[in-house]
Chain A
Amino acid sequence: MNKKVNNSFSNDQLLNFYKKMFLIRKFEEKAAQLYGAGKIGGFCHLYIGQEAVVIGILSSINSEDTVITAYRDHGHILARGVDPKLVMSELTGRKDGISKGKGGSMHMFSKANRFYGGHGIVGAQVPLGVGIGFAHKYRNEKKISRVYLGDGAMSNGQVFEAFNLASLWELPVLFIIENNKYGMGTSIGRSAAGGELFERATVFGIKGEKVDGMNFFNVSESAIRAREYIKKNSKPYIIEMDTYRFRGHSMSDPGLYRTKDEVNKMKEIDPVLMMKESLLNDYKIQEAKIKDIESDIKSQIKDVEKFSLESPLPELKELYTEVYL
């Protein structure tokens, strides 16, 4: 299934990428459990199934580069290196949450880790991310703004305005469509006319491609190609990731719009398992090393859970803070 593709990563680096994918998977499984137990409220959109996208892109990112995404953001903020304890405490709505318990699942940010959210209105993060790219160019920073959007956002008007501005003003922006095939319960076939989604950006003069988003190596290769293109040409680029979410749109999704067979078939190309197989078979990494990583993560998640449940609720006076600076 996998084969070793050309890349310059050491085995340690690859193991580290696997560790991050595994962390996201286990974190999200724990979030699902805590949601079921009533410890997490509101909306909770899990990233399970899409881990290769965020970690593949991460493999091309300089620590100074910026990232912005929509509401399915747990995996993104974890990939950016924010402490999982702070992320889980945000989900449990506690004082130690990354947004002090005032944002919730969809609204997490970390300037120190160059992560600009966490936005709940479909499509709105796209002009914002183009604006972050504008700031990079304005200040002559050699940074790239990575802007994630879903297949659903690709039918949202402001996204096209953002494509036009990014191309017109030659901004250093990488658009990443996470095409998981469904905008909530509506399949792309029922929402998007025409051809491939990324082609909707190419009409603005933005170069792009479609990539197997279930495979870390393919994502990484394409992300590095995009990075070099943007640096060389000072122009935006778009990658459409063919991916899939194994869980519902949110925790309250009855899943009536797709069959169990379809989901099970996609689980055969589980990105986390495929990455593991490749490390074992193509890179000849010892299984024991991988097992160690996995058990580290599992025990870390236990600590994360404990922390997020022990952290106190925000103080009541926090209601009125941070409305204005």
Chain B
Amino acid sequence: MKILLPALSPTMETGNLVKWLVKEGDNVVSGDILAEIETDKATMELESPDDGKVEKILVKEGTENISVNTEIALLKVDGEEIEEISEKPSEISSQVSSNGSDTATTEVKISMNSLLNQTKENLEAKNWSEKEITMREALNQAIEEEMNLDKDVFLLGEEVAEYDGAYKVTQGLLDKFGSKRVLDTPISEHGFTGLAIGAAMAGLKPICEFMTFNFSMQAIDQIVNSAAKSLYMSGGEINVPIVFRGPNGAAARVGAQHSQCFISWFSHIPGLIVIAPSNARDAKGLLKSSIRNPNPVVFLEHELLYKEKTNVPEENDFLIPIGKGNLIKEGKDVTIIGFSMSVQRILNALPSIEKLGISPDIIDLRSIKPLDEELIHKSVKKTNRVVIVEDGFGSTSFGSHLSYLIQSNCFDFLDSEIIKVSGKDVPMPYAENLEKLALPTTDEIVSAVKKVSYIN
């Protein structure tokens, strides 16, 4: 019997073989622990699926980035012939990777890191010492640095402490700061969000993690009515320095109640700052700025981006200002605007767009509220054409508002209608093909660019 590396989380594409707990020749029974596998979220135990003898270990311990469904061992089960070891990766394995091509970012032809390295912002930046790390690590660094700098900063949420974070963003922070500053909460969003806002009113600076932003709906009243409005309705007396953060949007096949983008919801509310970074560098610089900001900040991350790497400065003083977008690719023919995951979708479509002879400006908004209108207008006045890409439902969406702002400020400069490529107005389906279709696709982005460019 072949032992394959199993998928141990919805977003797991590869894993690391941390340790074998058996050796060749060992007899095992069903349920015995064979190995420890590190996934994108945690280190898990791999159990034997049957009784038998460990015939051969095919992948050494310590091996990293093993694709899901790779054969890692052979188990001799009574009455079963030993199977041939496949020469090529199994059929299932290759099928998974090709099906994942539109949502997974592994096949992005244009690397975010190389684009970022060429941006005006980075070229003008200080000569920081940098390291290529994942967005997950970047967020963790941001929290750790700010907690070291300010004892009023504390972290609370479900599974942030002893579990090391449901998505490992808060890994190791409990050990560093103790249970007074890193607090596991009950599954009680309405209560602990209100508690965190109250603590902020009294002068602390909470980082309130939602395991995913879907669960923030339990606490939406506290975010909107207590956090966002108190400064105004107290005539400036009570400010609420808090960061609400966690993954937002569709991850991978977790169904309708766990796959929704809330950017349009939160950006509707005066008093909230809304941030949605697309890469590790921005995530760190913006989270640090958010923690230092005296207003309530909704910091929307994306689970599929947690594993993506870019160069990230290691300095305490590295901040990215809130309210500044980033022209990540400079062109001339069309302005394509995205944020968070939709930036990756634009990059996925970029090779096809360039094949048409079109050179786009690509703007990563990063900050949704306040919005860098100056950057957008400057680009639109140059290109005269706009495509907006957003994962959220298209109906009454942030993208709709953005296109309104552009037409009212750049009306005389537009040579075409503005096209918005949004998530479809349906609850997120579970089936892989339907989920892919529910989100903005490469084809839709390319078609939109063609249409605003009058190319058939």
Contact = CB atoms under 8 A, between A and B. Distances in A.
A116 B233 contact: no
B238 A111 contact: yes
Interface in B147-195: 154, 180, 183, 185-186, 188, 190-195
Contacts of A118: 233-234
Contact of B192 (A66, A97, A98, A165): A165
B11 interface: no
B350 to A, nearest CB: 35
Interface stretch (B200-208, B259-267, B309-317, B422-430): B200-208
Interface string A89-129: 00000000111111110011111000011111100101111
Contact of A116 (B191, B195, B201, B235): B201
Contacts of A116: 198, 201-202, 238
A127 B233 contact: no
B344 interface: no
B295 interface: yes
Interface string B12-36: 0000000000000000000000000
B349 to A, nearest CB: 35
Contact of B199 (A100, A103, A131, A322): A131
Nearest to A141: B202
Given A135-B202, A138-B199, A127 B191 contact: yes
A279 to B, nearest CB: 35
Interface residues of A, number: 49
Interface stretch (A1-9, A154-162, A228-236): A154-162
Nearest to B238: A109
Interface in B384-422: none
Contact of A157 (B190, B200, B230): B190
Given A135-B203, A135-B204, A130 B195 contact: yes
Contacts of B201: 116, 128, 131-132
B315 to A, nearest CB: 26
A141 B193 CA distance: 22
Interface string B272-306: 01000000000000000000001100000000000
Q: Which of A98, A111, A138 has the most CB of B within 10 A?
A: A138
Contacts of A127: 190-195, 197-198, 222
B202 A131 contact: yes
A104 B235 CA distance: 10
Interface in A128-163: 128-136, 138-139, 157-158, 160-162
Contacts, number: 143
Contacts of B191: 127, 130, 158, 160-162, 164-165
B198 A103 contact: no
A184 interface: no
Contacts of B230: 109, 117
A138 B237 CA distance: 22
Q: Which of B202, B226, B234 has the most CB of A within 10 A?
A: B202
Nearest to A119: B226
B128 interface: no
A280 B222 CA distance: 47
Given A116-B238, A127-B190, A131-B197, A323 B222 contact: no
A165 B235 contact: no
A145 to B, nearest CB: 8
Contacts of A104: 233
Given A136-B202, A324-B271, A126 B238 contact: no
B221 interface: yes
A107 B226 contact: no
A221 B360 CA distance: 74
Given A131-B201, A165-B186, A325 B231 contact: yes
A42 B191 CA distance: 29
A263 interface: no
A98 B190 contact: no
B65 interface: no
B99 interface: no
A133 B234 CA distance: 20
A299 interface: no
Interface of B: 154, 180, 183, 185-186, 188, 190-204, 221-222, 225-226, 230-239, 270-271, 273, 294-295
6 contacts: A102-B233, A118-B233, A127-B193, A133-B198, A136-B202, A161-B186
